[in-house]
Amino acid sequence: MSARTLFDKVWTAHEVVPESVDTPAVLYIDLHLIHEVTSPQAFSVLKSLDLRVRRPDRTLATMDHSTPTVTEQVFGKIPIKLDAAAKQVRQLESNAAEFGVELFDMRDARRGIVHVISPELGCTQPGMTIVCGDSHTSTHGAFGALAFGIGTTEVGHVFATQCLLQRKPKTFAVNVEGELRPGVTAKDLILHIIGRIGVSGGTGHVLEYRGSTIRALSMDERMTICNMSIEAGARAGMIAPDETTFEYLKAKPRAPQGVEWDAALPRWRALCTDPDARFDASVDIDASTLEPMITYGTNPGMVMPLGGAIPRISGNAVYDKALGYMGFHGGEVMLGKPVDVVFIGSCTNGRLEDLKAAASILKGRKVAAGVRLLIVPGSQQVKRDAESLGLAQIFKDAGADWRESGCSMCLGMNGDTVGAGQYSVSTSNRNFEGRQGVGARTLLVSPMTAAATAVQGRIADPREFL
């Protein structure tokens, strides 16, 4: 058999019917994650056609997007402030009960952001196909799974058949070599990659992140990388599973146990791309020279080294509009600019290692006067871990607002928003206009840069705190 990529191997193993000129492939889905925002209309379709969820055992539901992060609202001491969000939560509860889908509801200790909880429970495993009505499903590719976001119509397809109709995407190798310098993180690397290939550079492709830099990353870091594949327009992002992956999964409650674990390991080890396999596209990245990165515009591709100046581009109306929205102009230096809000969290950077990185800078320091620091764990498990490790106390002592888990301020639909015109330095994934609230101005950074900025009240270089 000819040499194959990681993607090819996972794809082929899930072809129920291969694609033809006239019809897409019927692709089997191993794990279907759902949440309250993109599932209601799909359940409605099932009801209208009198269908069941075909494989509830391969379906897992949580609540994260529209849910509040304020403790009293989460645990029902006071009502959820947003009526429409409360209705969505109730709807998912009734749909899950009616269709027999396992749901981590508001009070469940396993609840959290869908892309944080599935890996931490061990539901996300190498070689799987995983979908969710959410574009950041690409996160799960960190385990060597083929994981991608789908629309609500497709959520209905998976409910009814456990399959999707898909054309086979192309492959794209992102080769990363060299050691990241202190203070430079996985977030900085992925921002650099997006800047390099562009926000539509990955369209129609599945990225495979490869090379010594990627192999040296932890699972939390790999998830940060794969999470933002969609910001380069890619269908998915993948990383070959290795000992780091297996070590992470080993003790997870829903990972294979005993003989099943022993049987899974050789299968997982065989997934990596064959030495002579060819990709449809590739890019080479030197990680050893990277600096902390920050976005200056209104898409994640408008990104620059933290210590640099905003590029000057003349005669580009889109660039002018983006900088006008941000209140910036070409040539301005980013360091030292005052900020209003700092947000640490999201499916990109809401895991324990992210919080540890932030805490390493916030320990014994205070948030600058006039700055709001909101820290939201990616899951209730991350919250408990951060509390038992003393990180939460460090955050509270610094003056941060420490919340229950959820998508929170990554997208302004749950009550956590940035005000119009305010500058928000955020560890999330999108700096689109209005993403964090109407008129909000978002600058994407790593957790370390976010923490350093919160302390100084101005955009700051985390390396000064190391």
Partner 1 sequence: MEPLQRVHSKTVVIGSTNVDTDQIIPARFLTTTTKDGLGKQLFADWRYLADGAPNPAFILNRPEAAGCQVLVAGRNFGCGSSREHAPWALLDYGIRAVISTEIADIFKSNALKNGLLPVTVGDATARWLLENPGAEVDIDLAAARLTLPDGTATSFPIEAFARHCLLHGIDELGYLRSKLDVIESYEAARRW
Nearest to 372 by CA among 438, 298, 310, 440: 440
Judged by CB under 8 A, the chain residues 434 through 453 that form the site for partner 1 are 434-435, 438-439
Nearest to partner 1 of 81, 312 (CB atom)? 81
Tell me, residue by residue from 304 to 323, as one string, x for binding to partner 1 by CB under 8 A and - for no binding.
-------------xx--x--
- Minimum Å gap between C-beta 464 and partner 1 is 33
Cβ 334 vs Cβ 361: under 8 Å: no
Contact 452, 433 (CB under 8 A): no
- Angle of helix 380-388 relative to helix 391-398, nearest 10 degrees? 80
List CB contacts of 141: < 8 A, sequence separation 6 or more: 147, 226, 229, 236, 237, 238, 239
156 binds partner 1 (CB under 8 A): yes
Instruction: Determine if 411 is a binding residue for partner 1 (CB under 8 A).
Output: yes
Q: At what angle do helices 219-227 and 352-362 cross, to 10 degrees?
A: 100
Binding mask 23-52 for partner 1 (x = CB under 8 A): xx-x-x--------xx-xx--xx---x---
**Closest separation in Å from C-beta 182 to partner 1:** 33
Q: 254-283: which residues touch partner 1 (CB under 8 A)?
A: 263-264, 267
Q: Out of 163, 238, 352, 459, which residue is the one contacting partner 1 (CB under 8 A)?
A: 163
Orientation angle between helical segments 258-269 and 243-250, nearest 10 degrees: 160
- How far is 137 from 347, CA to CA, in rounded Å? 9
Query: Is residue 210 near partner 1 by the rule CB under 8 A?
Result: no
* CA-based nearest residue to 228, from 321, 156, 295: 295
- Give the count of beta carbons closer than 10 Å to the beta carbon of residue 65: 21
Give the Cα separation of 423 and 440 in Å (integer): 7
Candidate residues 220, 354, 416, 433; the one interacting with partner 1 per rule CB under 8 A: 433
Q: Is 67 or 380 the residue whose CB approaches partner 1 more closely?
A: 67
Residues contributing to the site for partner 1 (CB under 8 A): 16-17, 21-24, 26, 28, 37-38, 40-41, 44-45, 49, 65-66, 82, 84-85, 87-88, 91, 133-135, 137, 149-154, 156-157, 160-165, 167, 199-200, 203-204, 230, 233, 235, 263-264, 267, 299, 301, 317-318, 321, 411-413, 420, 430, 432-435, 438-439
